[in-house]
Amino acid sequence: MTTTPTPPHPTATVTGHDDTARQALTPRDPAASAPPAPPAPPVPNAGSYNPAATTAGGMAGELARLEAQAALSFDEELSLLRELGLTASGGPLVEVGAGSGAITRRLSQAMPDLSLVAVDIDPDLLAHAEGAGAELVVADAADLPLETASAGYVLLRYVLQHLPDPAPALAEARRILRPGGRILVTEVDASCWGLAEPAYPELAGIHAKMAATQQAAGGDRTIGRRLTRLLRDTGFTEVALRPFATTNDTRPTDDFAPHLGPGRLQPLLTAGVLSLREFALAADRWNRFRADPNAWVMLLGFTAAGTAPDAPPGGRHTPEGIQ
């Protein structure tokens, strides 16, 4: 698959490679002990994705969070992707918004015959996907330097929730997919993030502030409920939605720290969105939760899939594909 940018394209090719703090309870974040790094400015066009404002510990903290988040639910997600049509021979798979390659690397290990392309708008983050088993491309999801009808799959994981308008990114995904190719979108919805027992209703105001902060930055933490409609509106057919659950029945409660811990709250405290009292409350509840041997948590994610129709917009059909 060719990934040559077309000048004057505002992208560059690198060779070689949400969301989703659903609920924040606190600290025990691996990033908490990392040396403080100066906050990086947000990457233009990355929507509400701004680790400096959402994750403690700068780049090191964000890498740890993305890694822990992928480790937590990859097995469930992979079996769902297979159920929704992912096969090793049906590639290439273009992972748009691949970030540090936490999922890319796992996909490559689980399906070594699947050809992978990892795309992200943030070159610094994408550089960490070097060696993940994919070709790396720095580009905006809404303007991909990839050929029409050249991909078998497009995967967007925890990316759409950050975009002020997901439609251009979905249209680009449709353009680069071969007829019959599949789009796979993994997301959350803040209103059904999951269940925890014991529950702490006193944290509801904190969670609402987190969602409002993302919304104010152009994101949408309730995008889960819109996924199938967004795919149909883009022209995808055979649209399906599957939930996946991750519980502490099969993994330690501490593995849920990226979602439930306070790592995501620290920047909100710094920005004055949360008070010290709120932060301390969340930290206390997380510490109570993780110390309780009977505590149970289930996080819910969603994967939506759709099929690219026969006639992609733009491009000309040949037996070999689109030119």
> Binding residue for ligand SAM (CB under 6 A) from 70, 94, 203, 281?
70
Number of residues that bind ligand SAM (CB under 6 A): 24
In this chain, which of 98, 134, 176, 211 binds ligand SAM, going by CB under 6 A? 98
Member of 103, 118, 274, 308 binding ligand SAM (CB under 6 A):
103
Q: Stretches 116-124, 212-220, 224-232, 283-291: which one binds ligand SAM (CB under 6 A)?
A: 116-124
Q: Is residue 264 close enough to count as binding ligand SAM by CB under 6 A?
A: no
Among 140, 172, 255, 278, interactor with ligand SAM by CB under 6 A: 140
Q: Where are the beta strands (DSSP E) in the chain?
A: 12-14, 93-96, 116-120, 135-138, 151-157, 177-187, 194-197, 237-247, 296-307, 317-318, 321-322
CA–CA dist 65, 282 (Å, integer): 18
List the structure tokens of 224. Answer: 């889960």
Question: Among residue numbers 3 through 62, which ones bind ligand SAM (CB under 6 A)?
Answer: 18-19, 45-47, 49
Q: Please report whether residue 97 would count as binding ligand SAM according to CB under 6 A.
A: yes
How many alpha carbons fall within 13 Å on the CB side of residue 24?
33
The residue among 97 and 306 lying less far from ligand SAM, judged by its C-beta, is 97
* Interaction between residue 107 and ligand SAM (CB under 6 A): no
Distance CA 280, CA 181 (A): 48
Residue nearest to ligand SAM (CB): 99
Nearer to ligand SAM, 173 or 206 (CB): 173
Q: State which of positions 160-189 bind ligand SAM (CB under 6 A).
A: 162-163
- Cβ 129 to ligand SAM shortest distance, Å: 9
Q: How far apart are CA 146 and CA 169, in angstroms?
A: 13
The DSSP bridge pattern shows strands 194-197 and 296-307 to be antiparallel
Q: Which residues pair with 318 in a beta bridge?
A: 321
DSSP, collapsed to helix, strand or coil, labels residue 17 as coil
